A and B are shown apart, each in its own frame.
Chain A
Amino acid sequence: QKEVEQNSGPLSVPEGAIASLNCTYSDRGSQSFFWYRQYSGKSPELIMFIYSNGDKEDGRFTAQLNKASQYVSLLIRDSQPSDSATYLCAVNRMGSQGNLIFGKGTKLSVKP
């Protein structure tokens, strides 16, 4: 079983719509969950992190965590063409905060 799984996409949404990105993980001991955005040819950029079950909102972004289901999601409201990128889900290895396991990423395309 892969440690962090994401649908590779591409996920295509029209401008102004809600984009929903999903991630599942296998390590029940993981405590920290991250969403990174990576534009083509650029480095990953942190956009959200979440540690507790439930929702966390930051501007147009909402991260959702369900530890019982081992599921993390990212919602992007009012999607813009500039949101078009690959979104990487990352989960820490149990007992090691900075040792992150990344999913392969979901490519999001927002059409004007």
Chain B
Amino acid sequence: DTAVSQTPKYLVTQMGNDKSIKCEQNLGHDTMYWYKQDSKKFLKIMFSYNNKELIINETVPNRFSPKSPDKAHLNLHINSLELGDSAVYFCASSHGSPLHFGNGTRLTVT
């Protein structure tokens, strides 16, 4: 069974749309993350939740809103999508460290 699963795997949408990415982990970890990997393959943290509480919020536009309904789920909603949002978004989880990554969601904004 997949430990950290994200849906969808691919997301193609137009500028200005709103979209969501879902993430679930069955590892029993208490902390979940969203990381963004840009076209230059640079992987950078966006958010972190610990037991449904936001603990890390890096400098991310407020068009991005994470939501954690429980400690096994962390979703990412993006409003008013822009071309620069095109990237691969990875969900990850951990109990302390190290991180376990999901398979990623490739978002393409046209």
Contacts and interface: CB of A to CB of B under 8 A. Distances in A.
A98 B96 CA distance: 6
A54 to B, nearest CB: 19
A43 B90 contact: yes
Contacts of A12: none
A74 interface: no
Interface in B32-73: 33, 40-45, 48, 56
Contacts, number: 51
Of A88, A92, A102, the most chain B CB neighbours within 10 A belong to A102
B31 interface: yes
* Chain A: interface size category: 20 to 34
Given A43-B102, A44-B90, A97 B97 contact: yes
A25 interface: no
A100 B31 CA distance: 13
B44 A46 contact: no
A42 B40 CA distance: 15
B79 interface: no
A32 B98 CA distance: 9
A99 B102 contact: no
B104 A98 contact: no
